[in-house]
Amino acid sequence: MRRLVTPGGAPGYLAVRPSWRALEGRQTRKGFALNLGPTELIIVLAIVMLLFGAARLPKLARSLGESAREFKNATAAMDSVNERRDSESSTS
Protein backbone atom coordinates (compact mmCIF):
# COMPACT_ATOMS: atom_id res chain seq x y z
CA MET A 1 0.00 0.00 0.00
CA ARG A 2 1.18 3.46 -0.77
CA ARG A 3 0.58 6.45 1.42
CA LEU A 4 -1.53 9.10 -0.24
CA VAL A 5 -2.53 12.62 0.78
CA THR A 6 -6.12 13.30 -0.13
CA PRO A 7 -7.23 16.68 -1.53
CA GLY A 8 -8.53 17.68 1.91
CA GLY A 9 -5.09 17.14 3.40
CA ALA A 10 -6.05 14.05 5.40
CA PRO A 11 -3.66 11.14 5.02
CA GLY A 12 -5.02 8.10 3.23
CA TYR A 13 -3.81 4.92 1.65
CA LEU A 14 -3.98 3.82 -1.94
CA ALA A 15 -4.32 0.11 -2.55
CA VAL A 16 -2.32 -0.85 -5.61
CA ARG A 17 -3.47 -3.94 -7.47
CA PRO A 18 -0.70 -5.98 -9.07
CA SER A 19 -0.75 -6.25 -12.83
CA TRP A 20 -1.42 -9.54 -14.59
CA ARG A 21 2.30 -9.74 -15.42
CA ALA A 22 3.11 -9.72 -11.71
CA LEU A 23 0.65 -12.57 -11.14
CA GLU A 24 2.04 -14.68 -13.98
CA GLY A 25 3.73 -17.82 -12.70
CA ARG A 26 2.49 -17.31 -9.15
CA GLN A 27 1.24 -20.42 -7.39
CA THR A 28 -2.41 -20.80 -6.52
CA ARG A 29 -3.82 -23.04 -3.80
CA LYS A 30 -4.45 -25.90 -6.23
CA GLY A 31 -1.16 -25.61 -8.11
CA PHE A 32 0.39 -23.37 -10.69
CA ALA A 33 -1.73 -20.89 -12.57
CA LEU A 34 -1.98 -21.88 -16.24
CA ASN A 35 -3.13 -18.93 -18.26
CA LEU A 36 -2.83 -20.34 -21.75
CA GLY A 37 -4.02 -18.13 -24.53
CA PRO A 38 -4.66 -19.11 -28.14
CA THR A 39 -1.07 -18.44 -29.18
CA GLU A 40 0.34 -20.70 -26.47
CA LEU A 41 -2.13 -23.46 -27.33
CA ILE A 42 -1.12 -23.32 -30.99
CA ILE A 43 2.54 -23.58 -30.02
CA VAL A 44 1.86 -26.56 -27.73
CA LEU A 45 -0.16 -28.31 -30.46
CA ALA A 46 2.64 -27.71 -32.98
CA ILE A 47 5.20 -29.22 -30.61
CA VAL A 48 2.95 -32.24 -30.01
CA MET A 49 2.55 -32.75 -33.77
CA LEU A 50 6.33 -32.59 -34.21
CA LEU A 51 6.93 -35.08 -31.42
CA PHE A 52 4.27 -37.65 -32.26
CA GLY A 53 3.53 -37.07 -35.93
CA ALA A 54 0.18 -36.48 -37.59
CA ALA A 55 -0.46 -40.21 -38.11
CA ARG A 56 -0.23 -41.08 -34.40
CA LEU A 57 -2.30 -38.15 -33.08
CA PRO A 58 -5.74 -39.81 -33.55
CA LYS A 59 -4.52 -42.92 -31.71
CA LEU A 60 -3.08 -40.76 -28.95
CA ALA A 61 -6.33 -38.79 -28.60
CA ARG A 62 -8.39 -41.99 -28.58
CA SER A 63 -6.28 -43.57 -25.83
CA LEU A 64 -6.42 -40.34 -23.82
CA GLY A 65 -10.23 -40.33 -24.11
CA GLU A 66 -10.45 -43.98 -23.06
CA SER A 67 -8.22 -43.29 -20.06
CA ALA A 68 -10.37 -40.34 -19.01
CA ARG A 69 -13.52 -42.48 -19.38
CA GLU A 70 -12.03 -45.28 -17.26
CA PHE A 71 -11.00 -42.77 -14.59
CA LYS A 72 -14.49 -41.27 -14.56
CA ASN A 73 -16.09 -44.72 -14.23
CA ALA A 74 -13.71 -45.69 -11.42
CA THR A 75 -14.43 -42.52 -9.44
CA ALA A 76 -18.19 -43.00 -9.94
CA ALA A 77 -17.89 -46.56 -8.65
CA MET A 78 -15.94 -45.39 -5.60
CA ASP A 79 -18.56 -42.70 -4.92
CA SER A 80 -21.38 -45.24 -5.08
CA VAL A 81 -19.52 -47.58 -2.69
CA ASN A 82 -18.94 -44.70 -0.27
CA GLU A 83 -22.62 -43.67 -0.46
CA ARG A 84 -23.70 -47.26 0.28
CA ARG A 85 -21.36 -47.40 3.27
CA ASP A 86 -22.66 -44.07 4.54
CA SER A 87 -26.29 -45.17 4.19
CA GLU A 88 -25.57 -48.51 5.90
CA SER A 89 -23.76 -46.83 8.77
CA SER A 90 -26.53 -44.25 9.27
CA THR A 91 -29.26 -46.94 9.41
CA SER A 92 -27.32 -49.07 11.91
- Count the Cβ atoms, other than its own, within 10 Å of residue 60: 13
Per residue in 7-59, pLDDT (tens digit) is: 565 555 554 555 555 555 555 555 556 777 889 989 998 998 898 888 888 89
Q: How many angstroms separate the CA atoms of 62 and 52, rounded?
A: 14
- pLDDT surpassing 70 at residue 82: yes
Instruction: Give the CA count within 13 Å in the CB-facing half-sphere of 52.
Output: 14
- Of the CA atoms within 13 Å of residue 63, those in its CB half-sphere come to 4
Q: How far apart are the first and last CA of the chain?
A: 57
